[in-house]
Amino acid sequence: MIRRSRVIPGLAVALLLGSALAAQEVESPFFEVVDVNVVNIEVFVTDKKGNPVSGLVREDFEVYEDGRRVLITNFSAVADGRPVRAIKSDRPETEGEIAQAPDRRRPLIPLQEVPEAQRLHLVVYIDNFNIEPFHRNRVFNRLREFLLQLERSDRVMLVSYDRTLNIRHRFTDNPRLIAATLNELEKLTGFRLQANRERRDILRAIDNADSPEGVMLRTRQHASSVANDLRFTLAAMRDTVQSLSGLPGRKALLYASDGLPMVPARDLFFVIRQKFQYMSAVLESQDFDATRQFKELANQANAAGVTFYTIDASGLQSLTAGDAENARASSIDGGGAFADSLNLSNLQSSIQFIAERTGGTAIVNTNDIGRGLDRVASDFKNYYSLGYSPSGAGDGRFHEVEVKTLEKRFNVRHRAGYRDKSLSQRMSERTVSSLRHGYQVNPLDVRLSVGEPSVHQDNFAAPFLIQIPLKKIVLVPRGTLYQGRVRIYFTAMDERGGIAEVQQDQISIEIPTQDFETAQNKHYAYEASLLLRRGRHIVGVGIQDEYGTAASFVSQSVDAGSG
């Protein structure tokens, strides 16, 4: 596993135009580098029946950042999977027109295909550690149907959590491959069975106990074990979210499990309090409260632009308020309406929270998730994108966002906010994401070549060469020179998925005015080395033209001494 990579001393940078045009140190240019950062908020608007509302225009929305209204500078709408533009009319609609078509405000003109910047990246996340096999396999039947509804431009990835995170299928624009891979997951064990058995055993022990002391000790131990498992579960989800942060376009995560405890063993502590009037039991349960961890996950998802859609695969189990209120605290078979009601609420509240906080929805209390998945598919095909320039300048803070429509009869969903990242942070994330997910985009026509690694102390130094056509770089006149500025980001990933810390370097390019035309047919070259451990790696490079807006992300594999 790579723990750290570095540039080997003696890093060489050269311009392939001869010695007269060699790279050199320059003063700060007069041409200011502008970090154009637009916050885009994906907004879902539905009527009271949950149907998507189309035909809205920019003037129908208001956006607030940290309570202050901001100017919407970018606006686009997608209806039925295609970009559209609404035809505005000065004539207000009558009540009869609204009643006849409540989900369509104005006539629509179809536009071009969905651009790359709005392409969907969907991760289907099966939490095998927190699901019973029967529940999981029942969900898969509907999930396969859902996958086949996706647009051809959508990219889907399948992962599972089985005590460790496993990528079952990398991003593909063929959802049939993902649907087929689900067949393999049906053969795996679901770990929730064991946890449920232990919970029922403790409920029986509480039912048979004459005093709270022994069952309190056992409940604390159980809660501690569940809390520890939960930390690893959420860490895997955060890792998945982080890996998506640099991907372009829209990002969603469809998470399926039997729920996650907001407070581990909350129901057991309450049952002990109710049976023995042991009031401190509930207070002790707060020691295991994971609310903050779920908030951190939701905030990280919002910062990465990832919308959560969550599925409670356990199905319809809810009890009426009267049943829960009048039921015994526990029963000899380990059930008990009171305990089961608390347990269900505890497991569902967490996945509902992260879905609502990130602008998605939760599918709960149903044995047939088909209708809920239809709503998810509708979100993917019907939405508005609102963009504005943030007030901060990469301050790193999380900013709350609220979107309203002038029509109060509509329901509006969107992520709760965003983290204002610097250009350097965004480029580092995109470099890592492109490396991890094999995403390459190359408007600068960058060439990356990696040489044969050589032994360097206990590791291997892998030389690499980056070549950039000068005609692709924005060069601005400065006296007798043309000047450009490029920032290069590079890292490497080992065969286990470990990624080294991203290194970066800023390069200034100067070309004498008399050589400018000749330079248009030449390349700028950057040469360096990465220090790698033995094994196979993929070197990833991101290049940002700081006077322009273009950025390229390329990668190449290399074998460091394992052949």
pLDDT in tens, 334-347: 446 888 999 999 99
Largest distance between two CA atoms of the chain: 95
118 neighbors 78 (Cβ within 8 angstroms)? yes
CATH fold for the domain made of 117-380? Rossmann fold (3.40.50)
228 neighbors 284 (Cβ within 8 angstroms)? no
Residue 117, SS3?
helix
CB atoms within 10 A of CB 403: 21
Residues, the chain, total? 563
CB atoms within 10 A of CB 201: 13
The label of the residue with tokens 């002790």 reads 284
How high is the pLDDT of residue 26?
34
- How far apart CA 201 and CA 338 sit, in angstroms, is 16
205 neighbors 332 (Cβ within 8 angstroms)? no
Of 376, 240, 229, the C-alpha closest to 300 is 240
How high is the pLDDT of residue 242?
93
- Which residue ranges in the chain fall short of pLDDT 50? 1-35, 98-99, 102, 320-335
How high is the pLDDT of residue 109?
76
pTM: 0.85
- How far apart CA 237 and CA 226 sit, in angstroms, is 16
Strands of 318-450 (E only): list them.
362-363, 383-388, 398-405, 411-413, 417-419, 447-450
CATH fold for the domain made of 12-35+423-560? Immunoglobulin-like (2.60.40)
Positive or negative: CA dihedral 546, 547, 553, 559 = negative
Return the half-sphere exposure (C-beta side, CA atoms, 13 A cut-off) of residue 457.
4
Quickly list DSSP for 52-115: BPB---GGGEEEEETTEEE---EEEEEETTEEEEE---SSPPPHHHHHH-TTB-S-EEE-SPPP
- How far apart CA 168 and CA 160 sit, in angstroms, is 7
How high is the pLDDT of residue 87?
75
Torsion angle (degrees, nearest 10) of CA 59, 62, 68, 71: -30
Domain residue limits, the chain: 12-35+423-560, 39-112+382-419, 117-380
Quickly list DSSP for 412-476: EE--SEEE---HHHHHHHHHHHHHHHT--B-TT--EEEE---EEETTEEEEEEEEEEEGGGS--E
How high is the pLDDT of residue 22?
34
pLDDT tens digit string along 406-458?
A: 988 899 999 999 988 888 999 999 999 999 998 889 999 999 999 999 998 88
- How far apart CA 31 and CA 547 sit, in angstroms, is 8
- How far apart CA 205 and CA 305 sit, in angstroms, is 46
Amino acid identity, position 451: G
3-state helix, strand, coil in the chain (%, to 5): 35, 30, 35
- Contacts for 248 with CB less than 8 Å, ≥ 6 apart: 116, 117, 119, 430, 439, 441
How high is the pLDDT of residue 2?
32
- How far apart CA 202 and CA 197 sit, in angstroms, is 9
